[in-house]
Amino acid sequence: MLKNLKSENLEPKSPSYSQIETRYIVMPDHANHYGTAFGGTIMSWIDMVAAMAAQKHSGRESVTLSVDRLTFIHPIYVGDHVVLRASVNYVVKTSMEVGVQVVKENPYTDEKVRSTTAYLTFVALDENKKPTPVPPLLPESDTEKRRFENAKLRLEAMKELSKKMKLNPY
Ligand SMILES: CC(C)(COP(=O)(O)OP(=O)(O)OC[C@H]1O[C@@H](n2cnc3c(N)ncnc32)[C@H](O)[C@@H]1OP(=O)(O)O)[C@@H](O)C(=O)NCCC(=O)NCCS
């Protein structure tokens, strides 16, 4: 139950407020038997960095509701530096979409390649572990506005698909 707490009573925050960047180096124990970074390891790094952005935006404990899309575009190799950037793209009431970009960097040549992208949904929880409203999102830059609009389209598409598939909740 959300009592009288409403998103509109909370101070809006821009995506830049909660943006998170973190780095790892891919070690042999992060690799699979092909010698590339294990997808599950990258997924856990993504979940962690996305959770930090959601926590910062909401100012609350925030749990992963869903991984809505995750694409491994290029393999990442042992020894690569990996930069993960997460930002809140969109907010409904208690839920937030967070986008994560994973860029691999060759430390010797400085070559940078976007290797993985992901979109996840988090829900903010109150002291009783119940969903609670999060501050509205105020996209400012052109990139933030584009991400906001695209996230809205993704959400609408997901709802439409669930309706067609007769899934409830979506
Ligand atoms: C996330 C969780 C608290 C939501 O609980 P719930 O009882 O479904 O809560 P609500 O019905 O109030 O929904 C909360 C929000 O989630 C959204 N949501 C819930 N189920 C959904 C689903 N199946 N698909 C899409 N959105 C969903 C609702 O639309 C709502 O968003 P909004 O307030 O922004 O409109 C609950 O599902 C949970 O605890 N999941 C496990 C989380 C977890 O353990 N994650 C891994 C470790 S972090």
The CATH superfamily of 10-138 is Hotdog Thioesterase (3.10.129.10)
Q: Which atom of ligand 1 is nearest to the CA of 62?
A: 48
C-alpha 104/C-alpha 76 separation (Å) is 7
> Is the Cβ atom of 58 under 6 angstroms away from ligand 1?
no
Q: Is the pLDDT reported for residue 57 higher than 80?
A: yes
pLDDT band at 166 (very low <50, low <70, confident <90, very high): confident
**Which H or E element spans position 114?**
strand 112-125
| Residue 1 confidence (pLDDT) | 47
Q: Is any ligand 1 atom within 6 A of the Cβ of residue 153?
A: no
pLDDT digits 0-9 by tens, 65-115: 999 999 999 999 999 999 999 999 999 999 999 999 999 999 899 999 999
- Distance, in Å, from the CA atom of 146 to the CA atom of 167, rounded to the nearest integer, reads 29
Strands 112-125 and 61-72 turn out to be antiparallel
* pLDDT reported for residue 170: 65
> Which of 2, 63, 65, 165 for mutating ligand 1's site (highest number of atoms within 8 Å of CB)?
65
pLDDT of residue 86: 98
State which ligand 1 atom lies nearest to the alpha carbon of 169: 23
Lowest pLDDT segment from 25-34, 53-62, 85-94, 160-169:
160-169
Alpha-carbon span 75 to 39, nearest angstrom: 9
Ligand 1: centre distance to CA 123 (Å): 6
CB of 7 within 6 A of ligand 1: the answer is no
* Residue 138 CB less than 6 A away from ligand 1: no
